[in-house]
Amino acid sequence: MQLKSLSTAKMTAKAVAILAAGALTLTACGGSSTPAASEGGIQLINAGKLTVCSDVPYEPFEFQKDGKTVGFDMDIAAEVAKDLKAELSVVDSSFEAIETGTALTQCDVSISSISITDTRKSVMDFSTPYLDDDLALVASADSGIKSLDDAKGKKVGVQQATTGADYAAEKGLDAQQFEDTGLLVQALQAGTIDAALGNQSVLGYAIKDAPSSRLLRSSLPVSSWASPSKRATPPWPKKSTERSSA
């Protein structure tokens, strides 16, 4: 993955390829009341609006700029809304609510750099994956950390409720949890933690202009990102598509 290109990337054919699958997930959304239908018969929570839950900030995928929520994931959300002839409405939600599916009580879909896991698939349906990313450890140059083993006993930060937090626990790291990646990156830059564990695309982007930090990647897990919606019965159709690779 080319980190710098993501911040300014326009929608590519690979990203657009998920739109059909993403739109199909919306037909499964619904609760005790009947959602409003947009043009084309897709059921939306609010008529004429595609309501998307996202955990902001998660640069370069979702972040605030000039009063607007922008980024790679937001480009995808905008294209889905355009395809549905609907207005895009972004709801800033905690990642914990997004990854457990509870955020979908107020949104049609979540688009927020969400890794597909078996636990998450048990409560949500996912679109076709649109990006592969791997975990990475970012450490300050003076921390002495050159591998994951070196991080044991050090101050390591993770974002709560993420695959990075799960992996840190699995590897026996006593990690400090942050509510969002913005706070995690701030702690790394301020030197209150020695290292951060999370998605390489986000952490790599955060330190691209920070010579005092280095990105360490060595046999860490790779995950696929997709957009979840409420569970469907029967499951909505899946279409094969290309995906971007980390």
Q: Which domains does the chain carry?
A: 3-130 (3.40.190.10), 134-223 (3.40.190.10)
Q: Which stretches does DSSP call E strand in the chain?
A: 36-37, 43-44, 49-54, 63-65, 68-70, 87-92, 109-110, 114-115, 124-126, 131-140, 156-159, 175-178, 195-199, 213-216, 222-226, 228-230
Which tops the pLDDT comparison, 26 or 42? 42
Mean pLDDT estimate for the chain: 81
- The pLDDT value recorded for residue 193 is 97
The pLDDT of residue 6 is above 50 = no
- The pLDDT value recorded for residue 16 is 40
pLDDT band at 231 (very low <50, low <70, confident <90, very high): low
Residue pLDDT, tens place only, 30-68: 343 455 655 455 788 999 999 999 999 999 999 999 999
- The pLDDT value recorded for residue 232 is 57
pLDDT average, residue stretch 183-190: 94
Give percent of the chain above pLDDT 90: 60
pLDDT average, residue stretch 131-147: 93
Strand partners, 43: 37
pLDDT average, residue stretch 209-224: 82
The pLDDT of residue 219 is above 70 = no
pLDDT average, residue stretch 130-151: 93
- The pLDDT value recorded for residue 242 is 40
pLDDT band at 1 (very low <50, low <70, confident <90, very high): very low
Strand partners, 157: 176, 196
pLDDT average, residue stretch 156-174: 95
Give percent of the chain above pLDDT 70: 76
- The pLDDT value recorded for residue 42 is 72
- The pLDDT value recorded for residue 13 is 33
- The pLDDT value recorded for residue 113 is 94
The pLDDT of residue 136 is above 90 = yes
Q: Is the pTM of this model over 0.85?
A: no
The pLDDT of residue 130 is above 80 = yes
